[in-house]
Amino acid sequence: MSLFDKYLAGWRLRTSRPSFEVGSEIDIFIAESNGTSGRAYVGDTELVVEGAGPETIEKQVRVRVTEFDETTASGRGEFVEVVGESSYAE
């Protein structure tokens, strides 16, 4: 991204419920886990991430989106790998 583009980025009203395409891979933080799958929020969009256990909570993980329903802004995905830590990893 050029310097000029950096200044122009974000001059818009961004939805609270972003959509994702099935098959795409996204890197997101996992908020919660029930032991076998995790849940992530991107804004108010919810994704259930299969295979994201408690060890992935508050970690940034790569997720392959497998289902997505735009009307409910919710979907499912598969855990691929851990790609990052929280800014305040202790």
Partner 1 sequence: MSENGAASPGDDPSDQFIGGDNDEGPRVEFYGGRGMSAFPIAFFIVWAIVQTALWRIGDTGGLIVGILVGLILGMFFVRGNWKTYANTIFEGMTQPVAVTAIVAWIWAGMFAQLLQDGGFVGGLVWLADAAGVGATLFPAITFVLAAVFTTGIGTGYGASVAFVGLFFPAGILLGANPVLLFGAILSGAIFGDNLAPVSDTTIVSAVTQDADIGGVVASRFKYIIIAAVVAFTGYIVAGSAMDGLEISGEAQAVFLESSEAIGLVHVIPMLAVIGAAVAGRHIVEAISWGIVIAIAFNLIFGLASLGDIVMFNAPSDAPFAGPLEFLPVLTIVESSDVGVTGSLMSGVAGFFELSILVLLIIGAAQIMIRGGAFEVLLDWSLENLATNVRNAELTMVATAALINSIITINTAAEVAIGPYISKIGERFNLNGYRRANILDGQTAAMGYIFPWSGGVLAGYGAMQTLPEQYEWLDQSMLVTPIDVVPFVFQGWLLVAVFVIAALTGFGREYITDRETEEVARV
Q: Which residues bind partner 1 (CB under 8 A)?
A: 1, 3, 6-7, 9-18, 20, 26-29, 31-35, 37-46, 48, 54, 57-58, 60, 69, 72-76, 86-88, 90
The total of other beta-carbon atoms located within 10 Å of residue 41's CB is: 13
Q: What is the smallest separation between the CB atom of 77 and partner 1, expressed in angstroms?
A: 11
Q: What is the smallest separation between the CB atom of 35 and partner 1, expressed in angstroms?
A: 7
SS3 for 10? coil
The total of other beta-carbon atoms located within 10 Å of residue 65's CB is: 19
Point out which residues pair with 57 in neighbouring strands.
30
Q: What is the smallest separation between the CB atom of 36 and partner 1, expressed in angstroms?
A: 9
